[in-house]
Amino acid sequence: MTPARDVELVWHDLTPRLLEVRRVHRLSPGMVRVTFGGEQLDGFCHAAPDDHVKVFFPEPGAELPVMPTLGEDGLEPPPPGSPLPVYRDYTVRFLRPERRELDIDFALHGHGPGGSWAAQARPGQRLGILGPRGSNLVPLTFDWYVLGADETALPALAAWLERLPEDARAIARIEVANAAEEQPLTTRADADVRWLHRERGETLAAELTGLTLPAGDGYVWVAGEAGGLKPIRRHVRSLGHHKAWTEIDGYWKCGVVNLDHHEGDDRE
Ligand SMILES: Cc1cc2nc3c(=O)[nH]c(=O)nc-3n(C[C@H](O)[C@H](O)[C@H](O)COP(=O)(O)OP(=O)(O)OC[C@H]3O[C@@H](n4cnc5c(N)ncnc54)[C@H](O)[C@@H]3O)c2cc1C
């Protein structure tokens, strides 16, 4: 019998939560893991490796973030005259419900409210989160998985590898600045993992546009800088790969602030 190959999108209740930083751990020169905690994590839903939340940052000098205004369809513009919330998308790296803790891995790229906040994060500070709004449940029964990420999508790629079962075959390509940015990854799958170093001129686009897809049914998941993903999207399409088994998402865009809408994903 052929295993089910339907990708299911499940929706979650949208609850704004105010959380406190419990720990800050430097994963590499350019990446920091912030552990948030609090009673408001009760009922938080997390079901897929690329589940993400909107993180609400305080304005510089403020203690608390401006929290979202919610309507029936989710986020709404705040009432006229009230301060604007400042938020960006981040992946749920780990959730430990029994300890009411949630980890987010932030890329320290030196710009923007997200990158700047993460560089100074310390225990006791508070942030808001909203989401995940939905989870994309991809069956773990495909013959193979092609995974690609830069630093911003590495938290989701690492979670993908952790979830794949023993009999899964995975090809994972991860673009980072240099060898110092490599992180330990764990998987039970038969995985061919290769780190690409921008320092050596290696990129996801160059690597993945040269890729031949294995035989059988497979799922392609790639995320990172939007411009660099375009040739990959074209390449995968040219190979005739099933659209429903392809997810290629722009997680940020070079030179563009607050990429609120990410290409190829209808969960936000
Ligand atoms: C679904 C989803 C999940 C995501 N998960 C994560 C995650 O777990 N960890 C994570 O670090 N990011 C993640 N991102 C990416 C993150 O939301 C963006 O990088 C966002 O722009 C960061 O906001 P900022 O305030 O730091 O910068 P912004 O104010 O948005 O941008 C300021 C400037 O910085 C540039 N910039 C933004 N990000 C980067 C970068 N990574 N490297 C270099 N320049 C950059 C912009 O082009 C712009 O010029 C995710 C994005 C999406 C859509």
Q: What is the pLDDT of residue 263?
A: 53
Q: What is the pLDDT of residue 267?
A: 40
Q: Are 19 and 102 in contact (CB under 8 A)?
A: yes
**Which ligand 1 atom is the nearest neighbour of the CA of 254?**
47
Of residues 160, 168, 222, 218, the one with CA closest to residue 5 = 218
Is the C-beta atom of 119 inside 6 A of ligand 1?
Answer: no
From 27, 56, 91, 111, the mutation candidate for ligand 1 (largest count of ligand atoms within 8 A of CB) is 111
Q: What is the pLDDT of residue 2?
A: 63
Residue with tokens 């001129």: 201
Q: Are 39 and 97 in contact (CB under 8 A)?
A: no
Q: What is the pLDDT of residue 268?
A: 36
Dist. CA 210 → ligand 1 center (Å): 27
Residue nearest to atom 52 of ligand 1 (CA): 251
**Which ligand 1 atom is the nearest neighbour of the CA of 118?**
26
Per-10-residue mean pLDDT, the chain, length 268:
82 95 98 98 97 96 93 84 93 98 97 96 98 96 97 98 97 98 98 98 98 95 97 97 96 84 46
Is the C-beta atom of 115 inside 6 A of ligand 1?
Answer: yes
Dist. CA 141 → ligand 1 center (Å): 31
Domains of the chain: 9-134 (2.40.30.10), 138-252 (3.40.50.80)
Dihedral sign for Cα atoms in the order 29, 253, 148, 25: positive
